[in-house]
Amino acid sequence: MRQSPFWPKQWRQRMRLWWLGKLAHSSVHTITRRNLYLLPTRAGCMLGLTLLVLLVASINFQLNLGFLLTFMLTGAALVSIGIGYRNLLGLQLSLHAPQTQFAGQALRVELRIDNPNRRARYALGVRHYQDDKYSMADVGAQASATVQLAALAQQRGWQPLPAVVVETRFPLGVFRMWTVFRSSENALIYPSPEAHPPPLPLGAADAGMGSSSSLRAASGEFDGVRGYRRGDPLKLVVWKKAASAMATEMGTGSSHFVVRDNQHQAQQDLWLDASRCGLAEREAQLSRLTAWVLAADQQGLRYGLRIQTGRGEITPDTGAEHRLACLRALALA
């Protein structure tokens, strides 16, 4: 959209931020007459100027048909205001953040639009408060619609969800009706994983065990494995070995599967320690630990996390919940 030379972009941004600071946060935003705003569009301004010229010409030349055309167009424009208001009134808006987001990536949020009314809503434009690009959506009678928006996740930790504008120019496009929604929810942003991290450190047993690990973490293979037995949990299956065995020999027996031996589990605990990752800068340490957590989880390793020496630690475990717990600790460190 072309910017007006009489309204610089910096002034527009300052006015938007000032106006945004006046709005309250809420988990669900219901559009009412108190939070619905109206301004003519460029087409509306041109229509108003045209109607003024028609009115002056009709008065000057006593044109009855000119009066008729002027008042008919004026009435249609005024009626469109009521139709546009009804197109937005009563809609309920809510924002939802995804579970996993990393700093430096696009923060993808979902805007849910609920229409409890029996009238369908048309030509709804959705955008970020500081953006000018719209995503269009229609909402059926007593139905819902979901619109995905993307914003940059700038830093780790808790980050507020971006303010959202929902507007319509329905039906004639001569007036713009809009509302601004500031969600009270926050998104947890994890540290950005290092692009090319070194291999995982060799696994070591806890200090109280006094023995070293036989884990080869870089390849994801384990010593101390045995054949699969009926009743063994699937999380102990070494899937890489099973896949290679299935590729070389066709068969359906359970002899293809091997599992980690629980007798060696204490020696297979991998500790990811910030003090031993080889970096001094704090954010670089968290970035490398994030990459290691993702790599260890992808390989199915049993790992623990130490972010600061002498403070709390996350004991070794596996699974999606353990991965999210480690990423959360890294984000809030």
Predicted pLDDT of residue 249: 55
DSSP characters over 239-267: HHHHHHHHHHS---SGGG-EEE-GGGGGG
Q: Are 124 and 157 in contact (CB under 8 A)?
A: no
C-beta neighbour count of 257 within 10 angstroms: 19
Enter the tokens of residue 96. 């939802």
Q: Are 32 and 89 in contact (CB under 8 A)?
A: yes
C-beta neighbour count of 68 within 10 angstroms: 11
Question: Per residue in 175-212, pLDDT tens?
Answer: 999 999 999 988 999 999 999 999 888 754 443 334 33
Cα-Cα-Cα-Cα dihedral of 64, 66, 67, 73, to 10°? 150
Tell me if the pTM is above 0.85. Answer: no
Per-residue DSSP letter, 150: E
Question: Per residue in 269-316, pLDDT tens?
Answer: 889 998 888 888 999 999 999 999 999 999 888 999 998 865 678 999
